[in-house]
Amino acid sequence: MSQLNRQSNLSKQPQQRERSLAEWVTFAISLIVLLSIVVLVFSSWLKVGERPPVLVLERSGEVRQIEGKFYVPFTVTNSGGETANTVQAIAQLRINGEVKETGEQQFDFLAGGEAEEGEFIFSHNPQDGELVLRVASYQKP
Amino acid sequence: MSLKRRVRKNIWLNEWNDIVRGASGGFLLGTPLLYTMEVWWIGSFAEPPRLLISLLTNFVVVFLLIRTEGFRRTGKIGLIDALMDSIETLAIGAICAAIILVLIREINLATSINEALGKIVFESAPFSLGVAVANSALSGDRDGRERTSRNNLSNGQKHLSSHSKTAEINATLADIGATLIGAIFIAFSISPTEEVPMLAAAMTPPWLLATIAASVLISYGIVFVSGLTNQAKRQQQQGLFQRPLSETVMCYLVSLLAAALMLWFFHQLSIDDPWTVWLSHTIVLGLPATIGGAAGRIVV
């Protein structure tokens, strides 16, 4: 009987339609997707709280030497909660206490928990001296 | 028993077609905004309360659209049905937006969950609006065009053998023309923007291949799954590339060509650029161009 009903519903599609199993499955999956988005938003709300950005600039990976230049890979990480804009990463290469070279890089956006990568390029070998990496500034969104 | 199974199979097939139709509408309306970096940025630094407000606003608008339209072929529906369809619409929009965001490398393993959520929520807004109007946007009668042209031909000419060849070429030209119009309609406004080189820069060869695959799949879905045409009529369709797969591939190539020309027109590409730059830029702009081209073949 219900099978008959379903068939007639499929062909006529009346005002109050009866959902097929397939439609119920779609609905269930959709509901799960939407609810998980809402739950994730709420949980990130709780996590972010009022925590300002915490920015760390570190070396990552090996130095590459190509055509007399030294490529120093780095990672800048925002371990705080809020997003930082125009993050300014600065590297200074000091040899015998004297600043020989500087490198600078800007990152448009760094959300809480996000990391970005890049490379500083020097013409002196960083191993001959001391490499100082720091985040100099950022802008509040 | 076999009848029961066939009915069951039909139910799943209908549902799949409904979902693909919805997704097609979503891609059509959502893709131009996916190639807009400001929307990513808004998503990147949106605070959770703002995200919830956006989701809610989106839900209300989608609900109002579903009351009159929707992605299913059911006509006017009741309140509870409309609510349930709205939830499905939002979910389809979010999933499609997320897939493309991953494809264009705006969401990757380094992206924080907050940022990914923000991007998905904001990008899913145009997608879900597209899903909500999919039925009216994609119901352009592709068969109608064929039928009238065929009627005209059979009225005007009696010699079947001589006109079948011109009809074949005409149908092919019409398909190419419609693809070009659609591709230009969607991708022209994207081609001069900074997003194309930006996205192309982040694309490695495997991602370019994935983009090609996605372009062809979405184009196929829009024309051959979501359109009003049914299988039997499609087989009768004329044209040199009347088979769905060859038509899809041919129209993808036409869209790629259109994308390359548009990029060259706006000085995004020059003759001096290496071929790898031409390739990556064209494939990146090829995605919206193909989606437009597919819609063009249905609507124009």
Kindly state the percentage of chain A with pLDDT values over 90.
35
The percent helix, strand, coil of chain A (3-state, each to 5) is 30, 45, 25
Tell me what the pLDDT averaged over chain B comes to: 82
A window 61-90, beta carbon within 8 A of B: 83, 85
pLDDT digits (tens, 9 = 90+) for B196-239: 988 988 888 899 999 999 999 999 888 887 764 444 454 455 55
Contact B266, B192 (CB under 8 A): yes
CB contact under 8 A, A116 and B110: yes
Which residue in B182, B171, B180 sits closest to B143, CA to CA?
B171
Residue A9 has pLDDT above 60, yes or no: no
pLDDT at residue B292, rounded to an integer:
92
What residues does each domain of chain B span? 11-137, 142-299
Say how many Å lie between the first and final Cα of chain B, rounded: 44
CB contact under 8 A, A37 and B94: yes
pLDDT at residue B86, rounded to an integer:
92
Which of A17, A25, A37, A140 has the most B C-beta neighbours within 10 Å, making it the best mutation to test the interface with B?
A37
Contact B120, B94 (CB under 8 A): yes
Q: Which two tokens stand for residue A125?
A: 């070998």
Side chain identity, residue B194: E
DSSP-assigned beta bridge partners for residue A110: A84
- CA distances in angstroms from B266 to B124, B184, B190, B259, B291, listed in the order given: 29, 13, 10, 11, 21
pTM for the full model?
0.77
Of residues B78 and B156, more confidently modeled: B78
pLDDT digits (tens, 9 = 90+) for A40-53: 888 877 776 677 88
CB contact under 8 A, B90 and A48: no
pLDDT digits (tens, 9 = 90+) for B243-266: 788 888 888 999 999 999 999 999
Strands A69-78 and A64-66, how do they pair?
antiparallel
CB contact under 8 A, A109 and B44: yes
Burial B103-134 (b: 16+ CB within 10 A, else e): bbebbeeebbbbbbbbbbbbbbbbbbbbbbbb
CB contact under 8 A, B14 and A27: no
pLDDT at residue B286, rounded to an integer:
95
Side chain identity, residue B164: S
pLDDT at residue B66, rounded to an integer:
87
Q: Report, as an integer, the average pLDDT of A66-90.
A: 89
pLDDT at residue B120, rounded to an integer:
94
- On chain B, the residues whose CB falls within 8 A of the CB of A141 are 45
The percent helix, strand, coil of chain B (3-state, each to 5) is 80, 0, 20
Tokens 């120093």: give the residue: A72
CB contact under 8 A, B14 and A22: yes
pLDDT at residue A75, rounded to an integer:
93
Residue A14 has pLDDT above 50, yes or no: no
Dihedral (CA of A12, A16, A19, A25) sign: positive
- Asked if B79 has any chain A CB less than 8 Å from its own CB, the reply is no
d(CA B255, CA B56): 36
Kindly state the percentage of chain B with pLDDT values over 90.
36
ipTM of the complex model: 0.72
- On chain A, the residues whose CB falls within 8 A of the CB of B101 are none
- Asked if B7 has any chain A CB less than 8 Å from its own CB, the reply is yes
Cα-based torsion angle of the residue sequence B100, B101, B104, B105 in order, rounded to the nearest 10 degrees: -140
Side chain identity, residue B269: L
Which of A2, A23, A140 has the most B C-beta neighbours within 10 Å, making it the best mutation to test the interface with B?
A23
